[in-house]
Amino acid sequence: MPELPEVETIRRHLAPRLEGRRLEALAVHDPRWCLPLTPDALAGACGGRRVERLDRRGKYLVMAFEDDVFLLMHLRMTGTLLFEPAVDEPYRRVTFGLDDAHELAFCDPRRFGTGELALGPEALTAFFAARLGIEPLGGALTGPVLRALATGRRGPIKAFLLDQRHVAGVGNIYADEALHRAGVHPLRPAGSLRPGQYAALAEAVAAALQAGLDAGGATIDDFRHPDGVSGAFQHEFLVHRRRGEACGTCGTTIVKFVAGGRGTYACERCQPRPRVR
């Protein structure tokens, strides 16, 4: 599933190609993409409008049109946005026709991706306020902030990090990588870390996401850049998907287990397992 670095990589590729262009045609081929709106209603709201910006919030891409019309896209499991896709590109769910004759397609084999509409800045703010917590790049995520969010929570810290209402944009890859960098076991109760560990984790989340961004995201499953190129961060994973391999820090074998309902990877020497009370 694309996480913050993958979505931000897409945004950076597409923003210069979309900003200032007029959306001449919006064809939703799969009506499930924009439920409960109909394809006609969505095309009516966005069609003919100029794209002012392509923004990102958490794992959402936000196409900001003139007159404060916002199209909020989520790639979910396998969604990708391709610029100038092949005519026979499979799994095409939406086609955006631009006024410079270029085309953008939302392709999505498993069809979990979505497109939603917000009309006006208040609707946009309310949409994200209900769904997303802190944006982890840019300095807002600090040890004290993380500690305040986690206080009293007994669920595993991994599940806490995956909950978008706490920290926006972190998914399975970057949660594993950040917890390893911070030396925190994924099964530690979220509220049980020492102050220094919250600080280390806040820093590690930002560092893992930044490393992913610098590598153009990670390509596992179906993630591709809008020009079809793959990301490279999967070659730099410290623990994720490395079961049975040696930890780069201490040489201990990396293990896999379930935390927060997800396949999770850790070095249990660098990240000591909590004792069962």
Q: Is 36 exposed, middle or buried (0-12, 13-18, 19+ CB in 10 A)?
A: exposed
Instruction: Mark the segment that binds Zn ion (CB under 5 A) among 37-45, 69-77, 182-190, 248-256.
Output: 248-256
Q: Is 270 in the site for Zn ion (CB under 5 A)?
A: yes
Supply the minimum distance, in Å, between the C-beta of residue 175 and Zn ion.
17
Supply the minimum distance, in Å, between the C-beta of residue 239 and Zn ion.
8
**For residue 33, what are the CA distances in angstroms to 30, 36, 111?**
6, 9, 8
Q: Is 210 in the site for Zn ion (CB under 5 A)?
A: no
Q: Which member of 84, 252, 268, 273 binds Zn ion (CB under 5 A)?
A: 252
Instruction: Mark the segment that binds Zn ion (CB under 5 A) among 70-78, 95-103, 120-128, 269-277.
Output: 269-277
> 57 has which bridge partners?
60
Which residue number has the CB closest to Zn ion? 247
Q: Which member of 175, 247, 259, 266 binds Zn ion (CB under 5 A)?
A: 247
Q: Which of 56, 57, 59, 242 is catalytic?
A: 59
Q: Is 269 in the site for Zn ion (CB under 5 A)?
A: yes
Q: Is 45 in the site for Zn ion (CB under 5 A)?
A: no
Q: Which of 12, 262, 269, 273 is catalytic?
A: 262
Give the C-alpha separation, 163 to 128, whole Å: 14
Which two three-digit tokens encode residue 243?
A: 């079961």
Q: Which is nearer to Zn ion, 17 or 185 (CB)?
A: 185
Annotation says 2 is catalytic: yes
Annotation says 262 is catalytic: yes
Q: Is 250 in the site for Zn ion (CB under 5 A)?
A: yes
Q: Which is nearer to Zn ion, 119 or 246 (CB)?
A: 246
Give the C-alpha separation, 187 to 200, whole Å: 17
Q: Are 83 and 102 in contact (CB under 8 A)?
A: yes
How many residues form the binding site for Zn ion (CB under 5 A)?
7
Question: Where would I find the beta strands (DSSP E) of 99-232?
Answer: 103-107, 114-119
Q: Are 239 and 176 in contact (CB under 8 A)?
A: yes
Q: Which member of 74, 77, 249, 268 binds Zn ion (CB under 5 A)?
A: 249
For tokens 């709106």, name the residue.
37
Find how far residue 203's CA is from the centre of its chain.
Answer: 18
Supply the minimum distance, in Å, between the C-beta of residue 199 and Zn ion.
20
Give the C-alpha separation, 90 to 29, whole Å: 12
Annotation says 57 is catalytic: no
Secondary structure (DSSP) of 163-185:
-TTTBTT--HHHHHHHHHHHT--
Give the C-alpha separation, 240 to 256, whole Å: 9
Q: Are 28 and 42 in contact (CB under 8 A)?
A: yes
Q: Which is nearer to Zn ion, 129 or 246 (CB)?
A: 246
* Sites of contact with Zn ion (CB under 5 A): 247, 249-250, 252, 267, 269-270
Active site residues: 2-3, 59, 262
